[in-house]
Amino acid sequence: MSRKFTLLFLSLVLTLPLFAGCQKEAEVIKIGLEGPMTGDYAYEGQGFEKAVRLLVDQTNAAGGLLGRQIELVIEDDAGDPAQAALVAQRLVDAEVVAVIGAYNSTATEPASEIYNDAGLFHITPSSTATGLTQKGFQRFFRVCFLDDRQGLFAAKFIDGVLNAKNIGILHDNSTYAQGLADHTKRYAEELGLNVVFYDAINPDDQDFSPILTNIGAAELDAIYFTGYHAQGGLLLKQSGELGLDLTWVMGNASNNPEMVQIAGLANAAGTYITTEPLPKDVDYPEAKKFVADFEAEYAMSPDSVWWMMAAEAFNVIRYAIEQTESTDSQVLAEFLHNEAKNLNGITGPILGWDEKGDRLGTIHVAYIINESGEFIMNPQQP
């Protein structure tokens, strides 16, 4: 008796997924989101989820895409390449039509190979390592810019606007910051600047007085820090406390109002930031609406530029599916390569993509933190 019951129960339970599968399959469009929901980069990954979730819900409330609802499949890679390879496989098995992710280049690298093998349409919001688009993957795109574009912009800004001669570059040994620092150094030297100081801090450090003393002794006209805002804030604070008279320029990873809070108003004022334009300065109604909706939904502003990029990636996927009326990855990829031009992105104009999948053009601008701690566009741009 009990064995029969067990058998019956087991067979019911085991076949249940089959029924569940039949009903939904045809209706929803599954879109994958891979990012670091836990681990060191959880702040960014969870922001990805917030930004994309908001747009998915809006799209679904407005009747969905091609009349079908969107289902967001979220996978956590913790920023680790081994886990990225696993979750990429999970997304492939979940039969998503497109993937947004991953956050860091080391995680995107193994995942992109799996997506490519499976023929998926894949956009990374934030992985800027040059090598990713050098493999000839036809269905892989970026909505962020390569490190070297911002590096070029920063070098031009420091040279042309700040008229600096002897400059310093400081990174935090993270994947991203180091890449940006290297490119900036190369371009700055090409422009004839003297990079007299080039060094790194460790990502978990809190006390920077030793390195700041070295920076102070180097007599720099400007110092460019390419790392993240938490340490950027501490650097500003401690350099102010040491009484150093430095011209700080920050990369876009420090583009976060929290930096002003950490540094204190007096220390932060006058700091320059090279970054993608803030949503409030992007003229398109799409951008303003996204920020307003985000603030209404989560009672916080989309602080990280990478969250904006994740939302941008979703918008690009949605736009491509709408325009082609197809969810075939090959069709979508060809559309982006050939036809998608001059879109109103929430991070600025999207000119299009080159044959490798890199976003064309550059949108970087320089900001300055004013006396009341606001980020305003610097009157002079290179």
Partner 1 sequence: MENLLTRLRQVNPLRWQLGLIALAVLLPLPLGNYYRSVLWRTGLYIMLGLSLNIIVGYAGLFQLGHAAFYALGAYTAALLNLYLDVPLLLTLPASIIVAALFGYLITRPILHLQGDYLCIVTIAFGEVVRLVLVNNLFGITGGANGLSGIDRPALFGLDWRQPIYHYYLMLIFLVITIFIVQRLEHSRLGRAWMYVREDEVAAEAMGVDTTRVKLLAFVLGSGWAGLVGALYAGKITVISPDMSKFMESVIMFCIVVLGGTGSIPGIFVGTLGMITLPELFRPLKAWRDAWLGFAMVTMMILRPEGLWPSRRVRLEMRGAKEVSLPTPAMDD
Which stretches of the chain bind partner 1, using CB under 8 A?
37-38, 75-76, 79-82, 85-87, 89-90, 92-93, 105-106, 109-110, 113, 117, 129, 131, 173-175, 178-179, 200, 202-203
Q: How far is the CB of 109 from partner 1 (least distance, A)?
A: 4
CB closer to partner 1, 46 vs 344? 46
Helix axis angle, 209-217 to 229-241, nearest 10°: 60
Distance, CA of 270 to CA of 255 (rounded, Å) = 14
Structure token digits, residue 85: 């390879």
Q: How far is the CB of 128 from partner 1 (least distance, A)?
A: 11
CB closer to partner 1, 31 vs 84? 84
Q: How far is the CB of 37 from partner 1 (least distance, A)?
A: 7
Residues in the chain: 382
Judged by phi (left if over 0) then psi (alpha if -120 to 50, else beta), residue 366 lies in beta
CA distances from 84 to 74, 174, 290, 332 (A): 12, 18, 29, 24
Structure token digits, residue 13: 């339970």
Q: How far is the CB of 215 from partner 1 (least distance, A)?
A: 18
Q: How far is the CB of 310 from partner 1 (least distance, A)?
A: 18
CB closer to partner 1, 113 vs 286? 113
Q: How far is the CB of 31 from partner 1 (least distance, A)?
A: 17
For residues 254 and 232, the answer to whether their CB atoms sit within 8 Å is yes
Q: What DSSP line would sit under 47-71, residue for residue? A: HHHHHHHHHHHHHHHTT-BTTB-EE
CB closer to partner 1, 120 vs 320? 120
Q: How far is the CB of 114 from partner 1 (least distance, A)?
A: 8
Distance, CA of 227 to CA of 203 (rounded, Å) = 9
CB closer to partner 1, 91 vs 164? 91
Question: Would you give the distance in Å from CA 191 to the centre of its chain?
Answer: 28
Q: How far is the CB of 61 from partner 1 (least distance, A)?
A: 25
CB closer to partner 1, 93 vs 325? 93
Structure token digits, residue 132: 């990713």
CB closer to partner 1, 109 vs 159? 109
Nearest to 101 by CA among 317, 346, 334: 317
Q: How many beta carbons lie within 10 A of that of residue 320, not counting itself?
A: 23
CB closer to partner 1, 38 vs 344? 38
Helix axis angle, 105-117 to 175-190, nearest 10°: 100
In 3-state terms, what secondary structure has residue 293? helix
Q: How many beta carbons lie within 10 A of that of residue 101, not counting itself?
A: 33
Q: How far is the CB of 203 from partner 1 (least distance, A)?
A: 8
CB closer to partner 1, 189 vs 295? 189
DSSP label of 192: T
